Structure 1
Amino acid sequence: MRQPSDLRLPLLITGLAGVPGYNAFAYFRKRLGDSVLAIRPHRNWRLTGPGILACDTDDEAGMDALWDEHRFQSVLSFAGSCHLKACELDPQMAERINVQGTRNVARNAARYNARMIHLSSDLVFAGRSGGNYSEADEPDPVTVYGKTMVVGEQEVQDICPAACVLRISLPMGPSFNGHAGAIDWIESRFAKNKPATLYFDEVRTPTYVDCMNRLYDRLLRRSEAGLFHAGGPRAMSLYEIAQVINRVGGYNPKMLKGCPRIEAGPMPPRAGNVTMNSDKLCAVFGEQVFAPWPNQHHLIPEHRTWHHQRNGDTGSPERVVELLT
């Protein structure tokens, strides 16, 4: 194993507008300063600041020029379009960003022999087998997004075999625009006293972004390659996740609505139980690398009206940040 000082710099982070990239940039920039750069799409012109550059990953010439200028030695490949409906309506856009963009990052990582960590998704699975997916299970995505993520994974492994590919679930943390992540979107509805409808039967394995950042830090210093599942140890339905946010945030419990996926309509298609088994990743470190989300046993919903029971705790948005991100 490499020593901690062996993180190879400079480090590039793609996908700054998303939850993983936004939080990883803050984490690594604080620790490594100007040796860390991040890119955001040109269209996200409001996302500016020290170390932030505008470059689209699907711009082959632009990406080549960026790498030639900075000669990155490590890259966190987090760019992608995960908006399910947008991908269904515009498959070419999904292919351009999730496949072509990923290919450009992998090609440059191989060109400069850079350490590469690439993020994929649990939505490469349909959720028809009861969850607990391992890396040996065959992907069977039900969405355009999931299909392009499968292709992107293969692009990385073909072009940059030394890369580490992580399939993640829901990273629980803030986003730049306040609605890109699971917590942000759900909380934005409740904060405006607007209803939010979540599914009883879409089940995920969420993770705290702090746990993910520490994982990236450790993996960047190591040489593990190939595919790993990186889901948390606690399975939560989308409805249960919203219950926790509603109660911890002190929001109106009547604003949370729930239904099975079949009642949501055909667009976009929804996966079922896509919980992941992350034993392979934990075995690398000889320990559980993720705290369960939520990390307090009393915040695990026990039934569908659990969030109505406040037990004298009024909750607040500050508590959401403190306990859930």
Structure 2
Amino acid sequence: MHPSHTVTIELADRSYPIVISSGLLDDPSSFAHLPSASAAVIVTNTTVGPLYGQRLERALGPQFPVVHTVTLPDGEQYKTWDSIAAIFDVMLRNACDRSTVLFALGGGVVGDITGFAAACYMRGVPFVQVPTTLLAQVDSSVGGKTGVNHPLGKNMIGAFYQPVRVVCDLDTLATLPQRELAAGLSEVIKYGPIADAVFLDWIEQNLDALVSRSPQALAYAVRRSCELKAQVVGQDERESGLRAILNFGHTFAHAIEAGMGYGAWLHGEAVGSGMVQAVRLSHRLGYVDERFVTRLTEMVQRAGLPTALPVLDEADNAGRYLELMRRDKKAAGGAIRFVLIERPGCAVVRQAPDAAVRAVLGGS
């Protein structure tokens, strides 16, 4: 086992630990001292459930007399109201009360859906994140953003609702398909440009080790990513200011996902391309130099991620992107706000002239 590391999200009476190690999923102590309840509900999907569902159920056995399981279809396209309803159906049929604890066993989609269901059921029940993908361990399981997609926009319906614990078992990363691992690396890479130039150097030097799943490299990447996110969320839980920097690349990424159809690209793949466009826009607006643009682009490529934008509209591709980005949650009064890199390790949130955005979208 790796030594266990605990990173704390400091939110006063809603503070909670992120426990990071190997072997956590089979250890009942990973789930000890949670809120008392007569029942637990595991929410998972058709990919992760067969791998880890029974193991989590066994680990929960000493604390919860009854454990129910909801198995959802796998994929971003199922991050919908229908999945929320499927969870509620199981809970209501089994007379789950407001002390019931939900466990999100899976990647970011499962985590977001479960958290939103927990926020809504009887106006709020406790939930625990048990992320099994790199993307979920370093980003989506931490910070309390929950929700579902709408055909017109990603994550437009949701709530800020914090888990009571996050349990990151590093062993689950061994079963990730390489494409999913690469998607998670996009969310690791983003922390360097926005918050920690030293970590950016470390990622650049250890990217091959991360791609080849070095346990030591992955353990450090997860821990440092969680530390950086904890610092940001602890200062700005509801994204009224600083927390917006965590969306580096996401304005472009969400347009890609909505425009192509959810599931065509993985979220992390869209973020990889989105970061490249965002740093190109940063350069065009006079922040970073061309060498930094090249550096970040090469890192995204080495991670196995796309760097180019997909074409969403043959007739007016830039216009289609701008239309979708104006629906982004960070837009205000129809003005698009971008996370830009002012210098390595420092991000700012700014509006950008449409002409500059169109130039980036056009490849110049």
Q: Do both proteins adopt the same fold according to a TM-score greater than 0.5, normalized to the shorter chain?
A: no
Tell which has more relative contact order, 1 or 2 (C-alpha 8 A, sep 6+). 1
Q: How high is the TM-score relative to the length of structure 2?
A: 0.31
Q: Relative to total residues, which structure has the larger helix share, 1 or 2?
A: 2
